[in-house]
């Protein structure tokens, strides 16, 4: 990758296709001659260090035609890219925007490569590597949760915490090395208990981020919602109602009709969901029954939320089994309990253990179930994730190595084997954390990250 970024670059920064507005972005240390040749305004160019807005027209290539709009000019290194930056806002068709870009390219600018604007911002120290990846995360976010996560990362939420951990490690390292300089005087700059406690706190932070990165790598974007319960609990009927297809799953009064599991992709209020119908809980002895129960256990273990279906007409001798199973599941899984077939036994609708009562036959309670599911999923995800998927994938090994170095430093401090060994492990942890935020990087890392960007970002 060519890391030279003194030349002037230009690109269409708005989404391709027709839209309410178009945006052309230009950046470079020699941007002003290019703008003076291509942009005409009634106002004179101001010799100001403050951002300035100009109204005027930009020339199109190969003609005397002009495109009206507004030019926003950041003349100093305080811009996003760390160098003079201009953005031309207009309402126009893509061909005219491309013609304006062609004319700018003919007057000293060149077409920007994918992600080059954000790359320049990173190289200028305006954003770190975690924030740079969040730019693409904002663009690619598939729901509000992902968007909020990317915006939080872009604002520096994770970077601030990693930066604080690095500062703490640097302070520990300086105190240890100061102690090494005065080893003959037997001066202790930091006591062992304080050293161990601070190392443990940072290690736990890195381990939590590592666990979070593992979850993000396993995430597919859609949340899995599993319907479970005893046989003949109305799971398949509910599945058909939620899917909107009465024949999606085979429905019968005979217990154990469902042997395999069915999966359908849904979208509830912008949230992608994988709805999964599983076999009812039973102690089968046949090979097919055993396989069905294995599938059932596997799907529930991987589910973001299990909807336990309790039938209103459940036989009295099965009620204790039903209650025992849903209680046991709730100890390790995210479970919401619904009362199905509520039209058959209205007296049970007040069951305190059931959060939603519904009847597919009477078409009641389905919307209540959707709202309850979305609310529960939102609660379970809120605050539990700190990294977008692309960052998690890149940082996973660095976080693991940082955790190992901190663990080794902590053990060395506890065993009092020598402060120089503790210092070596702390330097290793600093190296790995530096790779996450971009204090330490290679051209290959930058090329792998920014090649995924679109042009103009």
Q: What are the Cα distances from residue 186, in Å, to 50, 51, 178, 191, 421?
A: 56, 57, 11, 12, 18
| 257 marked among binding-site residues | yes
Strand arrangement, sheet containing 335-340: 262-268, 271-277, 223-229, 305-311, 335-340, 356-357
| 236 marked among binding-site residues | yes
| 25 marked among binding-site residues | yes
Question: How many C-beta atoms surround the C-beta of residue 402 within 10 A?
Answer: 31
Residues whose CB is less than 8 angstroms from the CB of residue 27 and which lie 6 or more positions away in sequence, other chains included: 8, 9, 79, 81, 83, 84, 85, 86, 112, 117, 120
Q: Residue 306's Cα: distance from chain center in Å?
A: 23
**Rounded distance between C-alpha atoms, residue 266 and residue 275, angstroms:** 7
Residue 42: what pLDDT? 79
Q: Which residue has the higher pLDDT, 285 or 369?
A: 369
Structure tokens at 345: 């036994």
Cα angle, residue 324 at apex, residues 255 and 344 outer, rounded to 5°:
50
| 384 marked among binding-site residues | no
Residues whose CB is less than 8 angstroms from the CB of residue 215 and which lie 6 or more positions away in sequence, other chains included: 385, 392
DSSP 311: E
pLDDT band at 72 (very low <50, low <70, confident <90, very high): very high
Tell me: the pLDDT tens digits for 297-356?
A: 777 777 788 888 888 888 888 888 888 888 888 887 888 888 888 888 665 555 557 888
Domain spans of the chain?
9-126, 154-218+387-438, 229-261+275-295+302-364
Q: In 255-399, at which residue ranges do the beta strands (DSSP E only) sit?
A: 262-268, 271-277, 305-311, 335-340, 356-357
| 457 marked among binding-site residues | yes
| 235 marked among binding-site residues | yes
| 162 marked among binding-site residues | no
Residue 18: what pLDDT? 64
Q: Do domains 154-218+387-438 and 229-261+275-295+302-364 have the same CATH topology?
A: no
Q: What string of DSSP letters covers 255-296?
A: TT---S-EEEEEEETTEEEEEEE-PPP----SHHHHHHHHHH
**Rounded distance between C-alpha atoms, residue 163 and residue 168, angstroms:** 9
| 383 marked among binding-site residues | no
Backbone conformation region of residue 79, classed left if phi is above 0, alpha if psi is from -120 to 50, else beta: beta
Contact of 275 with 241, CB cutoff 8 Å: no
Determine the topology of domain 154-218+387-438 in CATH: 1.20.120
Question: Which residues make beta-bridge pairs with 111?
Answer: 10
pTM: 0.62
pLDDT band at 279 (very low <50, low <70, confident <90, very high): low
CB-based contacts of 296-304 (< 8 A; 24+ apart in sequence): 296/228, 296/261, 299/224, 299/226, 299/261, 300/226, 300/228, 300/329, 300/333, 301/333, 302/224, 303/224, 303/225, 303/226, 303/276, 303/333, 303/334, 304/223, 304/224, 304/225, 304/334, 304/377, 304/380
Task: Report, as an integer, the average pLDDT of 261-287.
Answer: 72
H or E element at residue 243: helix 235-243
CB-based contacts of 146-153 (< 8 A; 24+ apart in sequence): 146/221, 146/388, 149/385, 149/386, 149/387, 149/388, 150/388, 152/386, 153/386, 153/387, 153/388, 153/391
Question: How many C-beta atoms surround the C-beta of residue 102 within 10 A?
Answer: 14
Share of the chain above pLDDT 70, in %: 79
CATH architecture of 229-261+275-295+302-364: 3-Layer(aba) Sandwich (3.40)
| 8 marked among binding-site residues | no
Contact of 244 with 253, CB cutoff 8 Å: no
Residue 104: what pLDDT? 92
Question: Does 256 have pLDDT greater than 50?
Answer: no
Average pLDDT, the chain: 79
**Rounded distance between C-alpha atoms, residue 32 and residue 150, angstroms:** 33
Contact of 143 with 41, CB cutoff 8 Å: no
| 57 marked among binding-site residues | no
| 76 marked among binding-site residues | no
**Rounded distance between C-alpha atoms, residue 134 and residue 155, angstroms:** 9
| 327 marked among binding-site residues | no
| 279 marked among binding-site residues | yes
Question: Which residues make beta-bridge pairs with 295?
Answer: none
Residue 255: what pLDDT? 46
Tell me: the pLDDT tens digits for 163-177?
A: 888 889 888 888 887
| 233 marked among binding-site residues | yes
Contact of 12 with 115, CB cutoff 8 Å: no
Structure tokens at 450: 């920014």
| 321 marked among binding-site residues | no
Cα angle, residue 428 at apex, residues 426 and 433 outer, rounded to 5°:
95
Contact of 137 with 96, CB cutoff 8 Å: no
105-144 as b/e: b if 16+ CB within 10 A:
bebbbeebbbbbbbbbbbbeebbbbbbbbbbbbbebbebe
Q: Residue 112's Cα: distance from chain center in Å?
A: 27
| 419 marked among binding-site residues | no
Determine the topology of domain 9-126 in CATH: Gyrase A; domain 2 (3.30.1360)
| 126 marked among binding-site residues | yes
Structure tokens at 262: 């069915």
Q: Which residue has the higher pLDDT, 24 or 350?
A: 24
Structure tokens at 243: 């899917």
């Amino acid at each position: 990758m060519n890391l030279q970024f003194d030349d002037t670059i230009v690109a269409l920064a708005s989404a391709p296709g027709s839209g309410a507005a178009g945006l052309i972005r230009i950046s470079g240390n020699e941007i002003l001659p290019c703008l003076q040749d291509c942009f005409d305004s009634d106002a004179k160019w101001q010799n100001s260090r403050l951002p300035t807005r100009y109204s005027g027209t930009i020339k199109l290539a190969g003609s005397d035609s002009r495109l009206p709009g507004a030019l926003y000019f950041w003349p100093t290194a305080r811009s996003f890219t760390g160098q003079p930056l201009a953005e031309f806002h207009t309402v126009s068709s893509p061909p005219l925007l491309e013609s304006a870009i062609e004319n700018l390219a003919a007057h000293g600018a060149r077409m920007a490569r994918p992600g080059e604007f954000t790359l320049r911002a990173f190289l200028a120290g305006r954003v770190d590597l975690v924030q740079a990846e969040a730019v693409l995360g904002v663009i690619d976010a598939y729901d509000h949760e992902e968007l909020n996560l990317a915006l939080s990362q872009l604002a520096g939420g994770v970077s601030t915490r990693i930066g604080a951990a690095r500062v703490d490690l640097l302070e520990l390292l300086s105190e240890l090395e100061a102690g090494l300089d005065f080893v003959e005087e037997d001066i202790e700059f930091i006591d062992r208990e304080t050293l161990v406690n601070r190392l443990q706190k940072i290690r736990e932070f890195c381990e939590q981020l590592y666990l979070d990165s593992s979850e993000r790598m396993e995430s597919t974007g859609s949340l899995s919602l599993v319907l479970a319960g005893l046989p003949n609990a109305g799971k398949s009927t509910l599945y058909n109602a939620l899917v909107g297809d009465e024949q999606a799953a085979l429905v019968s009064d005979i217990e154990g009709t469902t042997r395999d599991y069915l999966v359908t992709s849904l979208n509830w209020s912008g949230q992608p969901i994988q709805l999964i119908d599983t076999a009812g809980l039973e102690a089968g002895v046949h090979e097919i029954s055993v396989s069905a129960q294995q599938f059932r256990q596997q799907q529930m273990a991987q589910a973001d939320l299990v909807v336990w279906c309790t039938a209103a007409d459940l036989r009295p001798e099965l009620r204790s089994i039903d209650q025992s199973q849903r209680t046991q599941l709730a100890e390790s899984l995210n479970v919401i309990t619904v009362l199905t077939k509520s039209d058959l036994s209205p007296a049970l609708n007040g069951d305190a253990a059931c959060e939603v009562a519904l009847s597919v036959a009477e078409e009641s309670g389905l919307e209540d179930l959707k709202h309850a599911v979305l609310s529960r999923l939102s609660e379970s995800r809120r605050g539990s994730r700190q990294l977008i998927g692309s960052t998690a994938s890149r940082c996973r090994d660095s976080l693991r190595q940082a955790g190992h170095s901190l663990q080794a430093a902590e053990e060395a401090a506890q065993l009092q084997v020598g402060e120089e060994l503790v210092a070596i492990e702390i330097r290793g942890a600093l190296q790995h954390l530096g790779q996450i935020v971009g204090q330490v990087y290679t051209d290959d890392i930058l090329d792998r990250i920014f090649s995924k960007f679109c042009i103009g970002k």
